[in-house]
């Protein structure tokens, strides 16, 4: 019998709400939602939106951002892609296209507004929420703080919530300017991830 979550995943996979918007971008691509969650997940990775490589692979974080994120979390690829434990839910499920400077466009708001609350309520076993990048910070925490200020205050976030910068190469200079992130925050994050991965 099909579960409610299976039905929701099928609905998202079939979503074409942004077809006209994507057709008008330089890549003129079609929606390809990358749907990656199961109701048993204890860890949520709330990201931004797939990039072009993920759009092509159909698997989240199959790019250099993913390599860096896995390193931050202390997870092998096998563990990272274990949907029974880790749900990867971006603010938009599809690649949004490029802007004039070939940076990725922001995730279309309609995606979060249409799907996000339904997905999060389907994930009733979450114990750890890892919010990656400003779009996820704003949505999940309702914050107006900038990324640096929010991440720097990581000890005062709600229990079980970590806010991270986006692991893109574009943030390499940020990492150099903020060495406390790797020295202080990441060891605590890795320990929390390990704890949840060991749970039955
Ligand atoms: S980005 Fe979200 S709302 Fe837009 S087509 Fe993809 S799944 Fe649908």
CATH code of the domain in which 131 resides: 3.40.470.10
CA distance 16 to 14: 6
- In this prediction, residue 114 carries a pLDDT of 98
Contacts of 164 (CB under 8 A, 6+ apart): 69, 72, 130, 131, 132, 133, 151, 189
Ligand 1 nearest atom to the CA of residue 49, by list position: 1
Give the number of other CB atoms < 10 A from CB of residue 145. 15
CA distance 119 to 38: 10
Q: Which residues of 110-133 are buried (b: 16+ CB within 10 A; e: fewer)?
A: ebbebbbeebbebbeeeebbbbbb
Ligand 1 nearest atom to the CA of residue 107, by list position: 1
Label the pairing between strands 128-132 and 161-164.
Answer: parallel
- In this prediction, residue 199 carries a pLDDT of 77
- In this prediction, residue 101 carries a pLDDT of 84
Is the CB of residue 17 below 6 angstroms from any atom belonging to ligand 1? yes
**Beta partners for residue 45, in sequence order:** 88, 130
Does pLDDT of 84 surpass 80?
yes
In the chain, pLDDT over 70 holds for what percent of residues?
A: 98
Q: For residue range 165-181, what is the model confidence (pLDDT) as tens digits?
A: 999 988 999 999 999 99
Domain membership of residue 78 as a residue range: 4-197
3-state class (DSSP) for residue 43: strand
Phi/psi at 118 (nearest 5 deg)? Answer: -65, -40
- The two tokens of residue 157 are 């976030």
Does pLDDT of 19 surpass 90?
yes
Ligand 1 nearest atom to the CA of residue 110, by list position: 3
Protein residue with its CA nearest to atom 2 in ligand 1: 111
* Ligand 1 centroid distance, CA of 15 (Å): 6
- In this prediction, residue 102 carries a pLDDT of 84
Closest CA to 190 of 72, 78, 68: 72
For the chain, the domain total comes to 1
Task: Write down the residue that tokens 């979450």 correspond to.
Answer: 126
- In this prediction, residue 137 carries a pLDDT of 97
In the chain, pLDDT over 90 holds for what percent of residues?
A: 94
CA distance 68 to 51: 15
When pLDDT is averaged across residues 6-32 and rounded to a whole number, the result is 97
- In this prediction, residue 1 carries a pLDDT of 52
Does pLDDT of 44 surpass 90?
yes
Does pLDDT of 3 surpass 90?
no
With cut-offs at 50, 70 and 90, classify the pLDDT of residue 105: very high
When pLDDT is averaged across residues 87-104 and rounded to a whole number, the result is 94
Does pLDDT of 23 surpass 70?
yes
Q: What is the mean pLDDT of the chain?
A: 96
pTM of structure: 0.94
When pLDDT is averaged across residues 131-141 and rounded to a whole number, the result is 96
């Amino acid at each position: 019998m099909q579960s409610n979550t299976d039905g929701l995943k099928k609905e998202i996979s079939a979503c074409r709400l942004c077809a006209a918007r994507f057709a008008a971008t330089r890549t003129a691509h079609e929606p390809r939602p990358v749907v990656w969650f199961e109701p048993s997940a204890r860890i949520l990775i709330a990201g931004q939106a797939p990039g072009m490589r993920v759009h092509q692979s159909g698997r989240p974080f199959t790019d250099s951002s993913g390599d860096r994120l896995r390193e931050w979390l202390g997870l092998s690829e096998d563990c990272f892609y274990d949907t029974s434990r880790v749900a990867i839910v971006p603010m938009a499920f599809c690649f949004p296209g490029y802007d004039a400077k070939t940076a990725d466009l922001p995730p279309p708001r309609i995606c979060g507004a249409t799907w996000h609350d339904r997905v999060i309520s389907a994930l009733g076993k979450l114990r750890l929420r890892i919010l990656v990048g400003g779009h996820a910070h704003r949505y999940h925490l309702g914050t107006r703080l900038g990324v640096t200020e929010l991440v720097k205050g990581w000890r005062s976030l709600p229990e079980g919530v970590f806010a991270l910068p986006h692991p893109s190469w574009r943030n390499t200079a940020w990492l150099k300017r903020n060495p406390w992130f790797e020295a202080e925050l990441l060891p605590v994050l890795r320990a929390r991830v390990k704890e949840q991965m060991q749970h039955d």
